[in-house]
Amino acid sequence: MDLVEKIFNAGIVGAGGGGFPSHIKAKSKVEFLLANGAECEPLIHKDYELMVNFPEKIIDGIEHLLKQTNAKKTFVGIKEKNKKAIDSIADAIKNPSINLTLLGDFYPSGDEYELVYAATNRLIPPHGLPLDVGCLVNNVETLYNISNATEEIPVTKKFLSVTGAVKNPKSFFVPVGTSFRELIELAGGTALQDYGIFVSGILMGRLTFDIDEPVTKTTAGIIVLPINHYLIDRMKRPIHDMNRIGKSACDQCSYCTEFCPRYLLGYDVQPHKVMRSLAFTKTGERVWNQYADLCCSCGLCSLYACPEDLYPREACNQGKDYLRKNGIRYEQPKEVKVHPMKEGRRAPLKMLMKKLQLTDYDKATPFEEIDYQPRSVKLLLKQHAGQPAKPVVVLNQRVRKDELVADVEPDKVGAKIHASIDGVIKEITDNYIIIEN
């Protein structure tokens, strides 16, 4: 059995958030392999803790993928401030083709376009992938899982951080399908009566109030914040209110564009022009311009650059959705060329956290060995890019941890799902499987 088949059988997907099935990436032949340990979202520290505590597993995953892809070099992207992670990974490296790429403490240094440029000085073409410039990017946890796959261990647990307004912020492994309620309890609980939860990040994550949501293969962590926090007030606002405010208040200062990371890399993303779309009709809908099409939705325009606290990222998201639905693709006419002011317009993470009123929650999330066994798990059938997995079990069937419970249809993009605990199948729907211990 080759590595691609082992990765496929283990159900590995991109653990950094995208969830793209890793066996498809592993089929590529590339010049450079990039391990992404940048972790640029505020407050989330799970990649840092994984690199500090499990460097050998990460390097082992890199070694196997190097052979599989015929890559000449690997670059491990780590923020320069993370000295322990740097030392830990450096001590585990024995292969001279594996190198460190040290990054500044800026947002979004973990964006794959940014990382590819920082490590190789190559610019991915508009609408392109790292593969287009001979690169393959994987999150460090994905590489940890690839190491496990070589021992035929499937993905049934997730490494994550629990932080924010909890009593004991920490990082740990839990079975996939564990509820957010249980994560909060494992972190000592919270003194808050009412709160919101940011899933996998403040900027590129999402807000939920459902504490019974399950952990998936892409959950980087959860951040608990008071219900009256500035960020929750912003995120709760309906989209038509965001548009109405933008329509009346945007003065076209262009700061959203001038600080846009993709614009500074040379891509024709211009959020201030997208905001103009709001004035084209009475509703501010259905008339969007092409300058949203190359946006990566990092959120820096809305949450950092805009002096009026408007919503250019949300406008860009609507613009991209409109363009896709209407079969419109913007082909950038000019060459991708880095802006001469790129380095001077970076967003330092400390300044970003201050702007977002997160400084009081900026705490370490040390790794803790926890052997937690939930009473039940809820396994979503779509935890990845592509098609949902199809159940291969029946009600009341007894399953063992690591046993396959949902499979991928032939020739479909997707990932296998395995039981994360021993138990009995109690519910099967089109969206999930519940196993009770």
pLDDT at residue 287, rounded to an integer: 62
CA gap 352, 305 in Å, rounded: 10
- Beta-carbon neighbour count of residue 44 at 10 Å? 24
pLDDT, average across residues 172-182: 98
Q: Phi-psi region for residue 53, left (φ > 0), alpha (ψ -120 to 50) or beta?
A: alpha
Which strands sit side by side in the sheet containing 98-103, from one edge to the other?
98-103, 73-79, 32-36, 135-139
Chain-wide mean pLDDT for the chain? Answer: 95
Instruction: Read off the pLDDT band of 417 (50, 70, 90).
Output: very high
pLDDT, average across residues 64-71: 97
Q: At what angle do helices 83-92 and 55-69 cross, to 10 degrees?
A: 60
pLDDT, average across residues 166-190: 98
pLDDT at residue 18, rounded to an integer: 82
pLDDT at residue 67, rounded to an integer: 96
Quick check: helix, strand or coil at residue 272?
helix
Of the two residues 410 and 217, the one the predictor is more confident about is 217
Contact (CB, 8 A) for 294 and 261: no
* pLDDT tens digits, one per residue of 11-35: 999 998 789 999 999 999 999 999 9
pLDDT at residue 281, rounded to an integer: 60
pLDDT, average across residues 143-154: 98
Instruction: Read off the pLDDT band of 174 (50, 70, 90).
Output: very high
* pLDDT tens digits, one per residue of 310-361: 999 999 999 999 899 989 899 999 999 999 999 999 999 999 999 999 999 9
With DSSP H G I counted as helix, E B as strand and the rest as coil, what are the percentages for the chain, rounded to 5? 35, 20, 45
pLDDT at residue 289, rounded to an integer: 82
CA gap 369, 260 in Å, rounded: 39
Tokens at residue 279, please?
Answer: 């004035």
Q: Is the pLDDT of residue 397 over 60?
A: yes
Contact (CB, 8 A) for 65 and 7: no
Those residues with Cβ within 8 angstroms of residue 240's Cβ, 6 or more apart along the chain or in another chain? none
pLDDT at residue 288, rounded to an integer: 76
Q: Is the pLDDT of residue 279 over 70?
A: yes
Instruction: Read off the pLDDT band of 286 (50, 70, 90).
Output: low
pLDDT at residue 284, rounded to an integer: 47
pLDDT, average across residues 261-278: 95
**Which of the residue ranges 75-84, 138-147, 405-414, 422-431 would you say has the lowest mean pLDDT?**
405-414
Instruction: Read off the pLDDT band of 278 (50, 70, 90).
Output: confident
Share above pLDDT 90 across residues of the chain, in percent, rounded to a whole number = 92
pLDDT at residue 49, rounded to an integer: 98
CA gap 406, 381 in Å, rounded: 7
Question: Which domains does the chain possess?
Answer: 3-149 (3.40.50.11540), 156-229+357-372 (3.10.20.600), 237-347 (1.10.1060), 375-437 (2.40.50.100)
Share above pLDDT 70 across residues of the chain, in percent, rounded to a whole number = 98
Quick check: helix, strand or coil at residue 234?
helix
- Using a cut of 0.85, tell me whether the model's pTM lies above it: yes
Dihedral angle over CA of 120, 125, 126, 130, nearest 10 = -60
Contact (CB, 8 A) for 74 and 99: yes
Q: What does each C-alpha distance from 347 to 105, 352, 358 come to in angstroms?
A: 9, 7, 15
H-type helices in 93-236, by residue range? Answer: 112-120, 140-149, 180-186, 230-236
CA gap 378, 381 in Å, rounded: 9
